[in-house]
Amino acid sequence: MRILLFLASNAAILVVISVVFQVFGLEGILQENGVDLNLQALLLMSAIIGFGGSFISLLMSKWMAKRAMGVQVIDKPANQTEQWLVETVRRQSQEAGIGMPEVGIFNVPEPNAFATGASKNNSLVAVSAGLLQRMTSDEVEAVLGHEISHVKNGDMVTMGLLQGVINTFVIFLSRIIGHVVDRVVFKTERGYGPAYFITSIAAQIFLSILASMIVMWFSRRREFRADTGGSELAGRDKMIAALRRLQQASGEQESLPDQLAAFGIAGGVGHGLKRLFLSHPPLAERIAALEAGR
């Protein structure tokens, strides 16, 4: 239902934009300036490319995560730690009303964890070996609750769809800019001149940087929600303790691969402009939010 509603809303956006093009005669204005561009066709093409890449990434997310991080999925628990891990995830997923995720461990010495998957009932929750070794069972329970909350909230799907919208408009606007520069500035009459390709690529890079700020802003907001969900599943004190433990280890954290960074529990280290590109809020802010009951 989340996917259908999101797709419907974005289809409506595309229709509205198309109507705006007609009302304000934007195609006519472009044609008067020598830009022979079908905006509706370009918008449709941009949406297909933009959403296509996001959906493929979403569908392949578990497979890519396992390959990228070397996740060992626990099919049959080999020891008490693995048994406890699986049972805790099972209990929390039942409380959250989602299907049982796959549970795995990746061999990284730093404490970290992530969740990914194409839907609430087809997900993966993985923790690092360092997290199991350096955190108490209460703290690990809170981390698992945080990741289960990401799955419950449908954050992987929402992030994928948001990225699809962003991709669509980045592709769309960069192509328009390329056409205008090629036709109006460099007076190319037939086909595409070098100016179109150079300008389109430059515009796409610039717009992608701006767009990533929007995506990362949303990612930071959902971390607060997942912390709240983790505190509901495991207890607020446990969630705060887990974040404090991560704070102690923040100086030695190694980032997850780019495609997984937004889904890990650690992160949020940066100052100045770099803060705009963080997928996670600083741990101090997350702790303060929980202590304040937000």
User: What is the pLDDT at residue 8?
Assistant: 57
Helix (H, G, I), strand (E, B) or coil at 42: helix
pTM for the full predicted model: 0.82
User: What is the pLDDT at residue 42?
Assistant: 82
- Along the 294 residues of the chain, how does pLDDT read in single tens digits? 445 545 555 555 555 555 555 555 555 555 565 556 677 788 888 888 888 888 888 888 899 889 988 999 999 999 999 999 999 999 999 999 999 999 999 998 989 999 999 889 999 999 999 999 999 999 999 999 999 999 999 988 888 888 888 888 899 889 888 888 887 788 777 777 899 899 999 999 999 999 899 889 998 999 999 999 999 999 999 999 999 999 888 655 555 665 566 566 766 566 667 778 888 899 999 999 999 976
User: What is the pLDDT at residue 45?
Assistant: 85
User: What is the pLDDT at residue 288?
Assistant: 95
**What does the DSSP 8-state code read for residue 182?**
I
Helix axes 80-96 and 194-234, enclosed angle (nearest 10): 100
Q: Which of 102, 110, 141, 147 is catalytic?
A: 147
Structure tokens at 20: 């705006």
Closest listed residue to residue 232, CA positions, set 153, 124, 125? 153
User: What is the pLDDT at residue 240?
Assistant: 96
Q: Give catalytic status of residue 32 as yes or no.
A: no
Spatial neighbors of 42 by CB under 8 A, at least 6 apart, are 172, 175, 176
**What does the DSSP 8-state code read for residue 38?**
-
User: What is the pLDDT at residue 180?
Assistant: 83
Q: Name the amino acid, one letter, at 148.
A: I
